[in-house]
Amino acid sequence: MSILSRLQQATLALTFTSVSFIALAENTLLNVSYDPTREFYREYNQLFSQYWQKQGHEAPTVRQSHGGSGSQARSVIDGLEADVVTLALAYDVDALRQKADLIPENWQSRLPHNSSPYTSTIVLLVRKGNPKNIHDWNDLARKGVEVITPNPKTSGGARWNYLAAWGYALKQYGSEEKALEFVTQIYKNVPVLDSGARGATNTFVQRQIGDVFIAWENEAFLAVEQLGKGEFEIIVPSVSILAEPPVAIVDKNVDRKGTRKLAEAYLAQLYSDEAQHLAVKHFYRPANPTISNQYKDKFPQLTLFTIDDVFGGWNKAQQTHFNDGGYFDAILSKISK
Amino acid sequence: MNTLSPTTDHAITEAPWIKWSLIGLALSFLALFLVLPLAVVLYGAFEAGINVWWQAITDPDALAAIRLTLLVLIIVVPTNAIFGVAIAWAIAKFEFRGKTLLISIIDMPFAISPVVVGLIFVILFGAQGWFGPWLAAHDLKVIFAVPGIIIVIMFGTLPFVARELIPLMQQQGKDEEEASLTLGANGLKTFWYVTLPNIKWGLLYGVILCNARAMGEFGAVAVVSGRIRGETNTMPLHIEVLYNEYMFTAAFAVSSLLTGLALVTIVLKSMVEWKDERKHKTH
Amino acid sequence: MGKAVMKSVLPGFGITLGFSVLYLSLLFLLPVAGLFLFTLQMSWADFWVAISHPQVVASYKLSFAASFIGATINAVFGTLVAWVLVRYQFLGKKVVDALVDLPFALPTAVAGIALVTLYSTTGWVGQYLYLWGIKVAYSEIGVVIALTYIGLPFVVRTVQPVLADFSKELEEASASLGASRFTTIRRVILPAVLPALLTGYALAFAKAVGEYGSVIFISGNLPYRTEITPLLIVSKAEQYDYNGAAAIGVVMLAAAFILLLIINSLQWWASKRG
């Protein structure tokens, strides 16, 4: 203990010389988000600023941080002072509670639609003309097809990808063993395992590696309509997963900084009509059913299963599939042989 | 020397065809490994025209990243330079126990993976880390704030000035300083008028190296930065962010700025070496 | 000389040594010791499992093998470059000489993006290699390329001064004794530069083993195949597995210490011979 306390004293001296000032205004929010929401939140922050000023407040400053969902959650747990988190999956948000007790247990029921103001699903992106004839999940397991998807251990989107494929196999082939075999086949076809969703999009779009890219629907639309017009096609699989990226206030942080009111309004406004339309503009499916109906033609209709239905919720899915010693580790070690 | 037989002369040089093949081989290797990556960055940066380039580097987030990088340099480089001079003075001018050990310790930060450096400081100062609760209680932020970035960069660039100065000052010995002291100058004056002029090129050389590595540090900063746009992104991190936003031209534009600084660095370095060489020759 | 501390008339011993040791301790020694202490919280069995998992072992293999190949390429071409720069005159030599430092001065992330742009199957160089069926980016070759790139200056800059200082008279003597040019190079010059060459080799190797920024862009990051150890550490940390990350970090630290020990002995050897 004496070493520790001496170490502590020493480090104190060090920090005193280089301490930062953190006069955080009550009018500033830090939104810690995942990769593919950059464009959406850039516009939403302006929308929210206008709304907040109309309510008779000063213009707020919203700061953004983006990265892989898991790594972003890790940063918040380690002390990145997020007022709100808008991550790729509920497990990463729940980690804030499990590892650092930053949010209460009922966080997901505090906002409508499981705290997910927008949803998405997982689709397949192929090159123009669909040269490899990809039509459904089973085509990804074929020999000679190169599949691009990020690493589910570090990327939230990749976990949705994996579970979507698993859900399909479970439905198609009926058993866990068969599903494991099927998903193993798919990962055998993966030449690059980026650590985040954005890295994977770059690999497929910019570096032109791979025949099919398992993507968030919104990322797929972005690629088709903006990154390479006419170069890609979206293939809608027969069945996929309903991806719900949840949002939450980080209670411990907002209470300490006095930003709760602002943070609550920030998240509540995500459900406003304007924000829901904006989500559609950035290719997310709106949570509001009325608005969702208006855009029926924009988003393909397909059978969507949820994580709760098929996998018994995120905690269970994480444990069975992605934790150390789970199915994904088994898949990796099988492929290496 | 002209009397030497032509065979001897022939025997200590290579035939022209060998010489030019070697030069060709070396230059091809360097072209492939040094010039092409340079060309790719500059091409990517200016492909869309100078206006786009200018817009990319005057974007508020890019400017914030440039400012942060400069702030880091202003703190890190002088601190490590002072450390370098101090330790070189102690090692070169005095005998003491453990000197060899001290010299080998200085080299260590160079060999440690930047990622491990970042990890160490998260374990120490992160909210779940050893000093995290204490820091939080006193409202101090290290990780995911500027101090954390400064500390990891300081760690990574610790050896550069010291490594240049220690052999230099050891070689110079202490006769001149002792003479100055016997003539009645005090310690500081002696350092200023005798030692500093002798080591100035070595010091400058070390500072240039330290500066170059400090502005480019990536792995360690990536772990402790938190990537808050316009706030805790240094230039290399901002490049990564742009790359992940599919803004390739902008990513290359900011890269070209760092590349330009790298080129300035090596020009300065060559000038310092050249000056230093000339000084040695006149001695 | 019997005493450990020699009396000196020069002032400033206490303050400079005190400051240096304090600075080193606070910034470097204590934090590094902190990492070791952190892993002491783990049981030996847990520690062993963390550092010997097949995926981790595969990453050591890749990191060390790729660093080894990269350093070897640098030993050959770095010595060649040093030789050409010291012995021959040609147009633009000064510029070439200065450019050698570029990998040291260029930020690693910029280098990584530049290299992947060049060597991907659509890149300036990669597309031609791909015609021959060689994939560089996202393969083990890509890792080797990145590690070769960052190690180049170390070999050139350690060999260059030794070659420059090498006295031509020895070569002349060797030649006048009837040795062929090749024999002179092999038996006279090579032994003289060998310690410096090995030092440069070890430096390039040490830097390469820990390299992160330039590699992650160009390697495929596939576990068991193209995942380097530093990336694995980051990936463990991002899954909240700090124990695992720290354990592998300790292995990396130990490797770095051993490499430095080797470098120091080599330098000692070189100075004894020089």
The 10s digit of each residue's pLDDT in C204-248 is 999 999 999 999 999 989 999 999 999 999 999 888 899 999 999
Q: Which of C21, C74, C106, C229 to mutate to test the interface with B (most CBs of B within 10 A)?
A: C106
Of the options 3.20.20.80, 1.10.357.10, 3.40.50.11890, 1.10.3720.10, the CATH number for the domain spanning B49-282: 1.10.3720.10
Q: Is C96 on the interface with B (CB under 8 A)?
A: yes
pLDDT digits (tens, 9 = 90+) for B11-37: 567 788 989 999 999 999 999 999 999
Query: Can you tell me the distance from the alpha carbon of C159 to that of B165, in angstroms, rounded to the nearest whole number?
Result: 20
Rounded to a whole number of angstroms, the distance from the CA of B25 to the nearest CA of chain A is: 30
Query: What residue in B sits closest to A222 (Cα-Cα)?
Result: B246
| B184: three-class secondary structure by DSSP | coil
Q: Is the pLDDT assigned to residue B39 strictly greater than 50?
A: yes
The residue-averaged pLDDT of B229-233 equals 91
* Cβ-based contacts under 8 A for chains B and C: 295
Q: Is A207 on the interface with C (CB under 8 A)?
A: yes
pLDDT score, position C7: 56
The answer for C 214-273 residues in CB contact with B (under 8 A) is: 229-231, 233-234, 237, 242, 245-246, 249, 252-253, 256-257, 259-261, 263-264
pLDDT score, position B15: 83
Chain C residues in contact with A71 (beta carbon < 8 A): 238
pLDDT digits (tens, 9 = 90+) for C98-137: 999 999 889 999 999 999 999 998 899 999 999 998 989 9
Task: Count the Cβ atoms, other than its own, within 10 Å of residue C114.
Answer: 28
Confidence tier at B9 by pLDDT (50, 70, 90): low
Contact between A64 and B228 under an 8 Å Cβ cutoff? The reply is: yes
The residue-averaged pLDDT of B157-176 equals 90
Of the options 3.40.190.10, 1.10.3720.10, 3.40.50.460, 3.40.640.10, the CATH number for the domain spanning C51-273: 1.10.3720.10
Q: Is the pLDDT assigned to residue A221 strictly greater than 90?
A: yes
pLDDT digits (tens, 9 = 90+) for C25-42: 999 999 999 999 999 999
Chain C residues in contact with A95 (beta carbon < 8 A): 240
Nearest to A284 by CA among A201, A221, A227: A221
- B229 vs A64: CB contact, 8 Å cut-off? yes
Chain C residues in contact with A99 (beta carbon < 8 A): 240
Q: Name subunits touching C (3+ CB pairs < 8 A).
A: A, B
The answer for A 65-84 residues in CB contact with C (under 8 A) is: 68, 70-71, 74, 77
| Number of residues assigned to chain B | 283
Confidence tier at B280 by pLDDT (50, 70, 90): low
Nearest to A247 by CA among A218, A269, A219, A267: A267
Contact between B234 and B26 under an 8 Å Cβ cutoff? The reply is: no
Q: Is the pLDDT assigned to residue A20 strictly greater than 60?
A: no
The answer for C 10-49 residues in CB contact with B (under 8 A) is: 10-13, 15-17, 19-21, 23-24, 27-29, 31-32, 34-35, 38
Chain B residues in contact with A20 (beta carbon < 8 A): 140-142, 145-147
Q: Is the pLDDT assigned to residue B278 strictly greater than 90?
A: no
SS (H, E, C) chain A: CHHHHHHHHHHHHHHHHCCCCCCCCCCEEEEEEEHHHHHHHHHHHHHHHHHHHHCCCCCCEEEEEEECHHHHHHHHHCCCCCCEEECCCHHHHHHHHHHHCCCCCCHHHCCHHHHCCEEEEEEEEEECCCCCCCCCHHHHHCCCCCEECCCCCCCHHHHHHHHHHHHHHHHHHCCHHHHHHHHHHHHHCCCCCCCCHHHHHHHHHCCCCCCEEEEEHHHHHHHHHHHCCCCEEEECCCEEEEECCCEEECHHHHHHHCCHHHHHHHHHHHHCHHHHHHHHHCCCEECCHHHHHHCCCCCCCCEEECHHHHHCCHHHHHHHHHCCCCHHHHHHHHHCC
Q: Is A10 on the interface with B (CB under 8 A)?
A: no
Chain C residues in contact with A329 (beta carbon < 8 A): 55
Q: Which of B144, B225, B237 to mutate to test the interface with A (most CBs of A within 10 A)?
A: B144
Min mean pLDDT across A12-26, A229-243, B201-215 is at A12-26
Q: Is the pLDDT assigned to residue C5 strictly greater than 60?
A: no
pLDDT score, position C171: 83
Q: End-to-end CA distance of chain B, in Å?
A: 26
pLDDT digits (tens, 9 = 90+) for B42-84: 999 999 899 999 999 999 999 999 999 999 999 999 999 999 9
- B110 vs C233: CB contact, 8 Å cut-off? no
Min mean pLDDT across A7-11, B206-210, C12-16, C43-47 is at A7-11
Confidence tier at B279 by pLDDT (50, 70, 90): low
What are C193's two structure tokens?
């530069």
Q: Which domains does chain A have, with CATH numbers?
A: 21-116+244-271 (3.40.190.10), 119-243+301-335 (3.40.190.10)
The answer for A 269-328 residues in CB contact with B (under 8 A) is: none
Chain B residues in contact with A77 (beta carbon < 8 A): 127-128
Query: What residue in B sits closest to A198 (Cα-Cα)?
Result: B244
pLDDT digits (tens, 9 = 90+) for C181-199: 888 888 888 888 898 899 8
Select from A192, A324, A333 the Cβ nearest to the Cβ of C54. Answer: A333
Select from C27, C30, C138 the Cβ nearest to the Cβ of A209. Answer: C138
Strands (DSSP E) found in chain B: none
- A193 vs C222: CB contact, 8 Å cut-off? yes
pLDDT score, position B12: 67
Q: Is C237 on the interface with A (CB under 8 A)?
A: yes
Torsion angles phi and psi, residue A67, rounded to 5: 180, -170
pLDDT score, position C8: 66
pLDDT digits (tens, 9 = 90+) for A51-100: 999 999 999 999 999 988 888 999 999 999 999 999 999 999 999 999 99
- C222 vs A195: CB contact, 8 Å cut-off? no
Q: Which of B121, B125, B140, B224 to mutate to test the interface with A (most CBs of A within 10 A)?
A: B140
- A65 vs B142: CB contact, 8 Å cut-off? no
Rounded to a whole number of angstroms, the distance from the CA of B84 to the nearest CA of chain C is: 8
Q: Is the pLDDT assigned to residue C1 strictly greater than 50?
A: no
Q: Is the pLDDT assigned to residue A32 strictly greater than 50?
A: yes
pLDDT score, position B281: 53
Percent pLDDT > 90 in chain A is 82
Query: What residue in C sits closest to A71 (Cα-Cα)?
Result: C238
Handedness of CA A306, A312, A315, A316 (dihedral sign): negative
Confidence tier at A1 by pLDDT (50, 70, 90): very low
| B5: three-class secondary structure by DSSP | coil
How much helix, strand and coil, in percent to the nearest 5, is found in chain B? 80, 0, 20
Select from B136, B150, B244 the Cβ nearest to the Cβ of A35. Answer: B244
The answer for C 140-199 residues in CB contact with B (under 8 A) is: 148-149, 152, 168, 171-172, 175-176, 179-181, 184
Longest dimension (CA), chain C: 71
Chain A residues in contact with C237 (beta carbon < 8 A): 74
